[in-house]
Amino acid sequence: MPRLGELERSVMNALWDAPAPLTVREVQEKLDERDLAYTTVMTVLDRLDKKDMVVRERDGRAYRYGPAVTRDAATSELLHAVLDSAGDDRTAALVHFARTVDPSEAAALRSALDEILAMDDR
């Protein structure tokens, strides 16, 4: 469902950009140009709630929705899961190309690379 996924992203960005938790109506107004139905925004927020991405609190007859994690915290959670290759995440995400190497290893890698780059093109 690319459309719903795309909407989730927009709604989440609206929540991240807002200084305080928003009601469904307020989210709908923020995404004015997309011309979304009230119920569509509600559905999207429910989906985000199921994924533990938003927290909601009752406000009179409605709810106010805020992001469960800040944008920065979400980014660093991802990076940590990926870069922490000592942890259990080795198979959750097949991680590559992001490794620290010590200077002597780096020098060995560079000289091997130079040899490969000097090879004739076949």
Partner 1 sequence: MTPIWLGLLGLALALPVPALLARSTWPLRAPRAGIVMWQSLAVAAILATSGAGLSTALWLVSVDDPSPWRVVLHVAVLGVGVLVWARFWWAAWTVWRRTGERRRRQRHLVDLLGEPDGAEPALRVLRHETPIAYCLPDRTKARVVVSSGTIDLLDEDGLRAVLEHERSHVRSRHDLVLEGFEFLRAAYPRFLRTDAPLHQSQVMVELLADDAARQVGGVKPVAKALVTLADAPTPAGALGVGSAAAVRLERLRDPDPSNRLVAASLYLFSAAVVVVPTVAIAIPWMVHAWQVLLER
Q: Which of 17, 29, 34, 112 binds partner 1 (CB under 8 A)?
A: 112
* Residue among 9 and 34 whose Cβ is closer to partner 1: 9
* Residue among 62 and 113 whose Cβ is closer to partner 1: 113
Closest to 68 in 3D by CA, of 81, 85, 59, 56: 56
In whole angstroms, what is the distance from residue 87 CA to residue 69 CA? 22
* Residue among 33 and 115 whose Cβ is closer to partner 1: 115
- Residue 81 CB, shortest distance to partner 1, in Å, is 6
Q: Which of 49, 64, 66, 95 binds partner 1 (CB under 8 A)?
A: 95
The reply to whether 5 sits near partner 1 by the rule CB under 8 A is yes
In whole angstroms, what is the distance from residue 115 CA to residue 122 CA? 15
Element (DSSP H or E) covering residue 76: helix 71-83
Element (DSSP H or E) covering residue 69: none
